[in-house]
Amino acid sequence: MSVISIRQLGKRYVLTHQPRSDTLRDLLMQKIRVLTRWRRQSARASTEEFWALRDVNLDVESGEVIGIIGKNGAGKSTLLKILSRITEPTVGRIEIKGRVASLLEVGTGFHPELSGRENIFLNGAILGMSREEIHRKFDEIVAFAEVERFLDTPVKRYSSGMYVRLAFAVAAHLEPEILIVDEVLAVGDAAFRKKCMGKMQSVASDGRTVLFVSHDVGAVTSLTTRCVLLDQGRVALVGPTDQVVARYLEQDSHSQAVYEAAPRGTDLPQLTRVEVLASEGLGLQAAGKPLELCFDIAHPHPIKGACFSFQIVDQATRPATHAWVHDESQAFARHAGSTRLRCRIPATRLNVGHYALNVYLSEPPGGTVFETLASICPFEVIKLEPPPLWGWRADACVYHEDHSWAIEDLAPSS
């Protein structure tokens, strides 16, 4: 039985482009027009339609755990906001059977002036639960979120990690029929992410439905059996998770291997740009040639004991290699500003195939995990030399070890 039915769904935004002010005179005239409400100014502004979603059709069955993946800007968060009734579709129809709890971004559904305790009851009431029902789940929620000491503190004073822990605990424990989780779990530490994954599997085993959006294809693969790939607002593929993930990882293998993120507008450190400088350009790296990787970090405040690392993962998201740098060994991010980290691999020993990066930025172990990016900057490793008799095969191994052979003729045994 379908608990979510989506037909011909579309979401359109109208973008307004104001004319540029290239000179001081232009800027002054623009301000005067705004102050005097000169209507001719509006005529100079141009508009453009942008479809964040278009012609989306999907059925989600009861008890199904379904992943939604795609590049930044593909429409994943827009779709979840429509399903969560945060925004309305422009066209199309959605039928939802059951209560929906969503965890879309830090702070969604919480009132900053209320305490953690009060927000638990507020969210339960929004889901249509009685006070008695919330009381029965209250201790479980608090224990899962690990915020006992701060339960009566206004949530506006919570750290981002505390916010996420409490928000997920509330969403998962108040027994919605449908649980929607966006990339927000990337803010939490590794132990909590593992805890959340276990809880989502438990929710699914109880027959409830989970929609899970993440760039971490490893998490998507382990949690879901069916997946949706969105591309430029349209459904590109729906099917078994392994097939959809393979298509997603191949999508950009021949494009510029670059990740860019707009500033979040918070005081937390953030990776703003990651680039794989492949030897052959256009995301193609020749085996045996040097490989350089660049990571740009914006940090409005100094990072105490900054730790940075990355993994190169294969198409099945298995780590092939791991590199790291710590503030203790090479000082960085000790002052407010931005930092560029460069890593050079003298000779790439990866086997032919498709690869991507997992990137981590944090304080020392036990501290805050500022950012986790999974399966970004896809690139392909190729061999320029002639293949062996059996050809180059991506499934033969992950990397080639340097080696040499010694061959001796031994006397035949009598």
Neighbours of 170 (CB within 10 A): 26
Above pLDDT 70, what percent of the chain? 85
Q: At 279, is the pLDDT very low, low, confident or very high (cuts 50, 70, 90)?
A: confident
Answer with the residue of higher pLDDT: 187 or 152: 152
Write down the pLDDT at residue 169.
82
Bridge partners for 46 per DSSP: 17
Instruction: Give the domain ranges of the chain.
Output: 2-251, 258-382
φ, ψ dihedrals at 290, nearest 5°: -65, 150
Write down the pLDDT at residue 25.
67
Write down the pLDDT at residue 193.
72
Write down the pLDDT at residue 107.
53
Write down the pLDDT at residue 333.
92
Token pair recorded at residue 32: 């005067």
Instruction: Kindly report, residue by residue over 125-144, the tens digit of the pLDDT.
Output: 876 778 888 888 899 888 88
Write down the pLDDT at residue 109.
64
Token pair recorded at residue 101: 């709890």
Average pLDDT over residues 327-343: 93
Q: CATH for 258-382?
A: 2.70.50.60
Residue 106 has pLDDT above 70, yes or no: no
Average pLDDT over residues 150-169: 84
Q: Residues in the chain, how many?
A: 414
Integer Cα distance of 405 and 366 in angstroms: 46
Write down the pLDDT at residue 15.
79
- Across the chain, what does the average pLDDT equal? 83
Q: At 291, is the pLDDT very low, low, confident or very high (cuts 50, 70, 90)?
A: very high
Integer Cα distance of 414 and 60 in angstroms: 71
Write down the pLDDT at residue 175.
75
Write down the pLDDT at residue 248.
79
Integer Cα distance of 209 and 34 in angstroms: 50
Which of 227, 382, 395, 376 is CA-nearest to residue 316? 395
Write down the pLDDT at residue 264.
75
Integer Cα distance of 298 and 339 in angstroms: 7
Per residue in 117-134, is it b (16+ CB within 10 Å) or e — as a string?
A: bbbbbbbbeebebeeeeb
Sheet holding 353-362, edge to edge: 284-286, 369-382, 353-362, 307-314, 319-326
Average pLDDT over residues 17-32: 64
Average pLDDT over residues 378-396: 75
Answer with the residue of higher pLDDT: 383 or 337: 337
φ, ψ dihedrals at 388, nearest 5°: -70, 180
Answer with the residue of higher pLDDT: 364 or 36: 364
Average pLDDT over residues 406-414: 80
Check: CB of residue 278 under 8 Å from CB of residue 261. no
Among the listed ranges 59-68, 212-221, 237-246, 376-385, which one has the minimum average pLDDT value? Answer: 212-221
Average pLDDT over residues 49-75: 90
Residue 166 has pLDDT above 80, yes or no: yes
Write down the pLDDT at residue 47.
77
Residue 252 has pLDDT above 90, yes or no: no
Write down the pLDDT at residue 93.
93
Residue 183 has pLDDT above 80, yes or no: no
Write down the pLDDT at residue 66.
93
Integer Cα distance of 244 and 68 in angstroms: 10
Average pLDDT over residues 180-189: 66
φ, ψ dihedrals at 15, nearest 5°: -95, 135
Per CATH, 2-251 and 258-382 having the same topology is answered no
Residue 22 has pLDDT above 90, yes or no: no
Residue 312 has pLDDT above 90, yes or no: yes
Query: SS3 letters for the chain?
Result: CEEEEEEEEEEEEEEEECCCCCCHHHHHHHHHHHHCCCCHHHHHCEEEEEEEEEEEEEEEECCCEEEEECCCCCCHHHHHHHHCCCCCCCEEEEEECCCEEEECCCCCCCCCCCEHHHHHHHHHHHCCCCHHHHHHHHHHHHHHHCCHHHCCCEHHHCCHHHHHHHHHHHHHHCCCCEEEECHHHHHCCHHHHHHHHHHHHHHHHCCCEEEEECCCHHHHHHHCCEEEEEECCEEEEEEEHHHHHHHHHHHCCCCCCEEECCCCCCCCCEEEEEEEECCCCCCEEECCCCEEEEEEEEECCCCCCCEEEEEEEECCCCEEEEEEEECCCCCCCCCCEEEEEEEEECCCCECCEEEEEEEEEECCCCCCEEEEEEEEEEEEEECCCCCCCCCCCCCCCCECCCCCCCCCCCCCCC
Among the listed ranges 83-97, 239-253, 319-333, 363-377, which one has the minimum average pLDDT value? Answer: 239-253
Write down the pLDDT at residue 103.
72
Q: At 62, is the pLDDT very low, low, confident or very high (cuts 50, 70, 90)?
A: confident
Average pLDDT over residues 166-189: 75
Distances (CA, A) of 136 to 114, 127, 144, 173, 204: 21, 15, 14, 10, 21
Which of 11, 15, 13 is CA-nearest to residue 83? 11
Q: CATH for 2-251?
A: 3.40.50.300
Average pLDDT over residues 246-269: 74
Write down the pLDDT at residue 44.
57
